[in-house]
Amino acid sequence: MTETRPARRVAVETADGMTRIALDSPHNRNALSDQLVRELRDALAAAESDPSVRAVVLTHTGGTFCAGADLTEASSRPVGDPARERADQLIDLLHAIMALGKPVVGRIDGHVRAGGMGLVAACDVVVAGPRTTFALTEARLGLAASVISLTVLPRLANRAAAELFLTGDTFAAGRAAEVGLISRAVDSSDHVDEAVAEFIASFAACSPQGLRESKSLLNHHVLAGFAADRDRLADQSSRLFASEEAREGMAAFLERRPPRWAT
């Protein structure tokens, strides 16, 4: 009997000194399933260990970059499931992006929600096209942006962070550039790759050591925050995902109805 393996959820291509990693699970809007997180970490590790790779581009297939947690997967788990383990997996993924010794460019032209915001914030530079929208939707589901705050909060001014974390409102690429979440908002989808290519060309002019040490300098304080705060934030995340209120929020989202607290 032939064993059927699940389809891969991350597509990887390496050429001309660059590894292109695409979230490739459009059936669930590139949600952060256990499988996708595992494959993404493996792809990053492979890029790190390949001396021919000078930079990584993190992108997506379909109209959504990343919808955040896989709510179908999360809501189907029994109460008491080790949600802490999943929080730790996401923390390790965000850490891997920020600690990678090579620049990571986010290339986005689609929707970014919740946990996907953590991936965007972990990238060193980010280009977003006109089809991109962003939202930190956790509070609307009975959750909080616990784990991803490790990368998102350092990118944002305090007032912008309060607005985005507490409202869950959607905002466009221009606003994301204004508040520091992304590096460049591009007016035309046709020009997104051109903007990414400009960054890649600049990186190619730099030495591998120079890039690695400069990135270490830039991310030192953020990575120190991982060590200091991971237990507190992972515990909060796992507690909230297991709560009755969050289960109602996730169920309401999946059933396309207002949660019981919405008026």
Q: Under a CB-based contact definition with an 8 Å cutoff, are residues 65 and 182 in contact?
A: no
Residues 183, 185, 190, 196, Cα dihedral to 10°: 0
Which listed residue (13, 138, 163, 178) is catalytic? 138
CA 189, 13, 22, 200 dihedral sign is negative
pTM for the whole structure: 0.93
List the CATH code of the domain at 1-189+207-263: 3.90.226.10
DSSP states of 145-199 as a string? -TTTHHHHGGGS-HHHHHHHHHH---EEHHHHHHHTS-SEE-S-GGGHHHHHHHH
pLDDT at 83: 76
pLDDT tens, residue order, the chain (263 aa): 555 567 899 999 999 999 999 999 999 999 999 999 999 999 999 999 999 999 999 999 999 999 998 887 765 555 555 578 889 999 999 999 999 999 999 999 999 999 999 999 999 999 999 999 999 999 999 999 999 999 999 999 999 999 999 999 999 999 999 999 999 999 999 999 999 999 999 999 999 999 999 999 999 999 999 999 999 999 999 999 999 999 999 999 999 999 999 97
Beta bridge partners of 106: 58, 126
Domain extents for the chain? Answer: 1-189+207-263
Angle in degrees, CA 80, 146, 82, rounded to 5: 20
Expressed in percent and rounded to 5, the helix, strand and coil fractions of the chain are 50, 15, 30
pLDDT at 47: 98
Give the distance, in angstroms, between the CA of residue 221 and the centroid of all CA atoms in the same chain.
19
Cβ of 206: how many Cβ atoms within 10 Å?
14
pLDDT at 82: 59
Question: What are the pLDDT digits (tens) for 88-114?
Answer: 999 999 999 999 999 999 999 999 999
Q: How far apart are CA 180 and CA 200, in angstroms?
A: 20
pLDDT at 59: 98
163 is catalytic: no
Q: Helix, strand or coil for residue 55?
A: strand
Give the distance, in angstroms, between the CA of residue 168 and the centroid of all CA atoms in the same chain.
16
